Amino acid sequence: MEGWLYLIRSNRFGLQSSRKRYFALKENLLNCYKNIPKSNREEPLKTALIDSYIRVADNGRESFHRNVFYIFTVYNSSNHNDQLKLGARSSEEAAKWIQSLKEAAMKIDWTVFSTGHTKRMASDVIAPSPWKIFDCKNGQHWDDHPAIMAVGVVDGPSEAIFQTLMSFGPSRSEWDFCLAYGSVVEHLDGHTDIIHKKLSGDWLPWGMKRRDLLLRRYWRREDDGTYVIVYHSVYHPDCQPKRGYIRVSLKSGGYVISPSNPGKQAVVKHILAIDWRIWKPYSLTSSSKYITIKMLARVAALREFFQAKHGNYLFSNFSSRERTREKRLSAQEKEYIKEEVKMGADSIKGDDSEDDLEVLAPKHANMGGSIVQLNDAADEFFDLPDESDCDESEIVWPPKEDAESQDQRHTMLSTAAVLVKKLQDLSGQRKGYFDLKEASINGTELYSYGTTLPSDSTCTTNCSWTTADPSTFLVRSESYLKDHKKIKGSTTLMKMVAADWLKSDKREDDLASRAGGIVQRYADQGSSNFFFIINIQVPGLTAYSLALYYMLDTPLENVPILANYVKGDDAYKNSRFKLIPYISKGSWIVKQSVGKKACLLGQALEINYFSGRNYLELCVDVGSSTVARGVASLVLSYLSKLVIEMAFLIQGNSQEELPEFLLGTCRLNYLDATKAIHVRLC
């Protein structure tokens, strides 16, 4: 992989700048050149080694001085000061670099990498469709405001369609007959922003007052080139309802753009569930449904727009003319950003912290072959650029207040790690939703580790667990290396025997070693049973732990793939442990955000490993990486309304390790943070 990228740096004064450099990735070496090398013998300016400790974080879409960049960070998981921030001019180019760097870090052939092939990504979960067809439209009832989906094939590449849908520039008026005015109220991060839309009155029924929407918009790109854009209504202090407009509530909505003929065609799905706030007697639910269907006709307009273009897509600078306000809010003002979906006037916290709002220049380490030295750190004051660096090769930006802190990394939402990361905001709920900090502990009942989350095989008890059906999940078949085929899971290697839902004032590691818990009780009895514990940790002023306990009935040596995993080093463990998520009950918008695709969890989050004579515990640090705030708050809004199913397995990379077998499954029924048990009661 090679091509032009923008090296993004900050100086001591907080000014950000970019330098255009030519990068070439050859095997495990990332070389940086000032210009395109004329021969293979030309020496690069700098070189960095891409090894198993290297991680790549997708930071999303940023707009600076009428230039759009797709940012990603390459960093060393063992030394967070060793990092490199790069920008590409297109999302597809950024995605290719991210994939290539991940493959280089894994040091394996692309044919066995979990997402290395270029075929369209299929779901790793078998689930029934909730949609039904009517009048060439798809729909599912949502109270009195049905969620309706329109589907169309558009003659254009998925990236160009994505750029078109994201832009509020002049070309918007050529296809979007519903929109009169659109603006970005606040840019939250590279994947999330707050947008305001004023709808045109021309297409609305006669006599109907004009409408507007205030939405949180989140986007991501899947590894197969599919783009997902989701919206939901929010409240923002800087965009109050306007006189002459009625603000409608978008309960669920968005686009899914899937390439069907890569580079030529894409299938566009547009979903809307809107409360139009119609109160007049003559305007019943049927009229609301009619307006929603009419709005979905934009898919047809988008199709005609691209047919008229005849392949002439000039979207490289698409957001240069967006009406954007970059004004940042204080932490106190952020208290008032509220979710309107489900909770009405209830409010929740965005997970911005003081660290999130600082631009921290990396502490440059003097280490040969490190990533940070590609930054040309010695040029601290950014001397006057060479003539070849002018114009597009050198862009200086003002200080960016919402840049991520050094220890926070974005991870692509295309992976199943999204499910785990969504729990991150639990520790920061705003009053009015639920107050975790002040929640009282009812009674004086004492618990032991492994008993704090009750089991209910009937799935009728809220905040409980049971096992999920293994056949719901797909695993690699024996012939996977040849044909990439997957089969239904038939059984699990281990049995789920317990679960904990805990809270504390600090992170709780190594639960399995604690006296009185289920693991130690078996050890005290001289049992040979081996335990595998997955401890999902949610940091914050109040820290939460969701611990899942699995037990192996046979000696560990009888299961070679699990024995090799337990005895392997951390790098090996990180490269093999997979999670498959599935939201079996919940809103479409949450299901779409989480996805149903397997993920190498150790490549997305930091995992600390603890072992004893009869156990291995994986402590998954949710706080080790930030995810799009829009999706995190979305899942949080619906948490008590979700049924979450998960499957865990060790990835099979060689023929001897196939077919894959599930380690275990889990089903969490309507998890409730207020029912978490404090560790002092254990």
Could you write out the three-class secondary structure of 415-454? CCHHHHHHHHHHHHCCCCCCCCCCCCCCCCCCCCCCCCCC
pLDDT score of 4: 94
- Contact between 635 and 612 under an 8 Å Cβ cutoff? The reply is no
Lowest mean pLDDT, pick from 82-96, 241-255, 429-443, 587-601:
429-443
**From residue 240, how far is each of 188, 200, 243, 247, 340 by CA, in Å?**
18, 19, 9, 9, 14
- Contact between 248 and 214 under an 8 Å Cβ cutoff? The reply is no
pLDDT score of 223: 80
More confident residue, 391 or 587: 587
Q: Is residue 178 part of a domain?
A: yes
Q: Of 405, 92, 80, 50, which is closest to residue 262 (Cα–Cα)?
A: 92
**Total number of domains constituting the chain:** 3
645 and 592 share a domain?
yes
521 and 659 share a domain?
yes
496 and 623 share a domain?
yes
Indicate the residue among 57, 85, 107 that finishes a domain.
107
- Contact between 640 and 649 under an 8 Å Cβ cutoff? The reply is no
Spell out the SS3 assignment of 569-598. Answer: CHHHHHCCEEEEEEEEECCHHHHHHHCCCC
**From residue 590, how far is each of 339, 585, 593 by CA, in Å?**
14, 10, 5
Indicate the residue among 294, 310, 326 that finishes a domain.
310
**From residue 399, how far is each of 326, 510, 637 by CA, in Å?**
12, 41, 32
Q: How many CB atoms lie within 10 A of CB 291?
A: 21
Report the CATH number that the domain containing residue 268 is assigned in CATH.
3.30.530.20
175 and 256 share a domain?
yes
Pairing of strands 132-134, 137-140: antiparallel
Q: Is residue 377 part of a domain?
A: no
More confident residue, 410 or 257: 257
Q: What value does the mean pLDDT take over residues 39-47?
A: 86
Q: What value does the mean pLDDT take over residues 428-451?
A: 52
Amino acid identity of residue 227, one-letter, is Y
Alpha helices (H) along 60-200: 91-106, 158-166
pLDDT tens digits along 385-438: 333 443 444 444 444 444 344 344 444 434 444 444 444 444 333 333 233 333
| Cα–Cα dist 232/281, whole Å | 27
6 and 72 share a domain?
yes
Q: What value does the mean pLDDT take over residues 163-176?
A: 92
179 and 85 share a domain?
no
| Cα–Cα dist 286/418, whole Å | 36
Q: What value does the mean pLDDT take over residues 178-197?
A: 92
649 and 520 share a domain?
yes
Q: Is residue 84 part of a domain?
A: yes
pLDDT score of 53: 79
| Cα–Cα dist 416/121, whole Å | 13
Amino acid identity of residue 379, one-letter, is D
514 and 656 share a domain?
yes
92 and 194 share a domain?
no
Q: What value does the mean pLDDT take over residues 282-307?
A: 82
Q: Of 140, 115, 144, 138, which is closest to residue 130 (Cα–Cα)?
A: 140
Q: Is residue 582 part of a domain?
A: yes
94 and 167 share a domain?
no
152 and 14 share a domain?
no
**From residue 667, how far is each of 455, 468, 611 by CA, in Å?**
10, 5, 25
pLDDT score of 135: 53
157 and 40 share a domain?
no
H or E element, residue 637: helix 629-638
pLDDT tens digits along 311-360: 666 554 444 344 444 344 443 334 333 333 333 333 333 333 333 323 33
pLDDT tens digits along 502-545: 999 999 999 999 999 999 999 999 998 999 999 988 777 788 88
- Contact between 235 and 214 under an 8 Å Cβ cutoff? The reply is yes
Spell out the SS3 assignment of 257-322. Answer: EEEEECCCEEEEEEEEEEECCCCCCCCCHHHHHHHHHHHHCHHHHHHHHHHHHCCCCCCCCHHHHC
Residue 14 confidence (pLDDT) above 90: no
Indicate the residue among 276, 310, 344 that finishes a domain.
310
Q: Is residue 26 part of a domain?
A: yes
pLDDT score of 632: 39
Residue 365 confidence (pLDDT) above 90: no
Q: Is residue 117 part of a domain?
A: no
**Burial class for 562, CB neighbours closer than 10 Å (0-12, 13-18, 19+):** buried
Work out the mean pLDDT of the chain and round it to a whole number. 77
The domain of 21 spans 2-107
Lowest mean pLDDT, pick from 229-233, 587-591, 612-616:
587-591
Cα of 543 vs its chain's centroid, Å: 21
pLDDT band at 299 (very low <50, low <70, confident <90, very high): very high
Report the CATH number that the domain containing residue 42 is assigned in CATH.
2.30.29.30
pLDDT score of 524: 93
Q: Is residue 354 part of a domain?
A: no
Q: Is residue 525 part of a domain?
A: yes
Residue 28 confidence (pLDDT) above 90: no
pLDDT tens digits along 624-659: 765 534 443 566 667 788 898 999 999 999 999 999
**From residue 627, how far is each of 445, 575, 632 by CA, in Å?**
37, 20, 7
